[in-house]
Amino acid sequence: MTHRDRTLPAERAEERVLRRGTIACVTSRPGDVQHLRDLAWLRRVRDRIDREYAQPLDVEALARGAHMSAGHLSRQFRLAYGESPYGYLMTRRIERAMALLRRGDLSVTEVCFAVGCSSLGTFSTRFTELVGVPPSVYRREAALATAGMPSCVAKQVTRPVRNREASAPSRL
C-alpha cells in the first residue's frame, strides 16, 4: 500500500492546491509555455539594451533578435517591465549620461553622442523629462552635490525617475 493510497481524498485535494504554484502546474498548458518563452526573450532584449545602449538600437532590430514582431515586442515588454523598449533604452542612456556629466570632463554634446543618442535636441528633452533639469544645469550642479561621495552611492542617489514622473520646473 503506497502513501497515496492511504491519504484521504481531502488531503489529496490539498496536495493539488499546494502544487498549483509549482513549475509543473504553471507550464501545464501550451499557452503558459509560450508565455514563459516570451518572458525569456524579453529578458534577453532587456539585457541587450543594458549591454549595447550606446549602439544604434531600434525596436525593429530588437524584435528581430527576439523572433517577434515589433508591435508584439513593444506590447509584451510594456506588460513585463512597465515601459516600452524605447523608453527603457532612453532611461539607460540617461542614467549613463548622468554619470558622465557628474564627472565633468565632457561637454553635453560629447555625452549625448557617447551614450548613443544621435540628436542633441532629443537627448536634452528626454534628459529634462526624466531628471527634471536640463543636462547643462545638471552638469553644473551634480558635481557640487555629489562631491566626495562614492560613485556607487552617487548613482543611487541621482537615479532618474522613470515614466515622466519628474515634476516639471515651475515658471515664475
Q: What is the pLDDT of residues 75-107, one digit of tens each?
A: 999 999 999 999 999 999 999 999 999 888 899
Amino acid in position 13:
A
C-alpha distances in Å from residue 62, one per residue of 52, 55, 113: 11, 12, 21
What pLDDT score was predicted for residue 13?
47
The closest of 97, 140, 136 to 116, measured between CA atoms, is 97
Q: Using CA atoms, how far apart are residues 12 and 86, in angstroms rounded to an integer?
A: 48
Higher pLDDT, 7 or 44: 44
Q: What is the pLDDT of residues 45-73, one digit of tens each?
A: 999 999 999 999 889 999 998 888 999 99
The closest of 42, 124, 125 to 88, measured between CA atoms, is 42
What pLDDT score was predicted for residue 89?
94
